[in-house]
């Protein structure tokens, strides 16, 4: 009986290392994007994507979600800020 880990096992490529687990930076970036640390989340998401491409780890979805959630939050913040400034400016014009 042959051992499943022996080098001669059919179906296994020799010298190919399979990645185990999920990339931690992708998960941390996603959590930080949800919490609101958007710039850090974008950086961690980009680093995670680079590591995932190099190592073959899982977690590409987390890294992409971290980047997209952070970008969407930044855009929404800017839009809301513009709306608030416009409303406050309009209110000041009508008062004077």
Query: How does pLDDT run across 10-59, given as a tens digit for each residue?
Result: 555 555 555 579 999 999 999 999 999 999 999 999 999 999 999 999 99
How far apart are alpha carbons 28 and 25 in whole angstroms? 5
The per-residue pLDDT for range 45-75, each reduced to its tens digit, is 999 999 999 999 999 999 999 999 999 999 9
Pick the more confident residue, 15 or 92.
92
Pick the more confident residue, 7 or 88.
88
Q: Hey, where are the domains in the chain? A: 24-95
Residue 61 vs residues 23, 40, 48, 52, 96: alpha-carbon distances, Å: 10, 17, 10, 10, 52
| pLDDT in the model for residue 20 | 77
How far apart are alpha carbons 90 and 47 in whole angstroms? 43
How far apart are alpha carbons 29 and 45 in whole angstroms? 5
């Amino acid at each position: 009986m042959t051992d499943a880990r022996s080098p001669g096992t059919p179906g296994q490529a020799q010298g190919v290392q399979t990645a185990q687990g999920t990339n931690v930076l992708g998960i941390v970036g996603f959590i930080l994007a949800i919490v609101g640390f958007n710039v850090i989340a974008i950086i961690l998401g980009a680093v995670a994507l680079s590591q995932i491409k190099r190592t073959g780890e899982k977690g590409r979805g987390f890294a992409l979600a971290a980047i997209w959630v952070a970008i969407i939050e930044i855009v929404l913040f800017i839009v809301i800020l513009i709306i608030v400034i416009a409303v406050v400016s309009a209110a000041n014009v009508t008062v004077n």
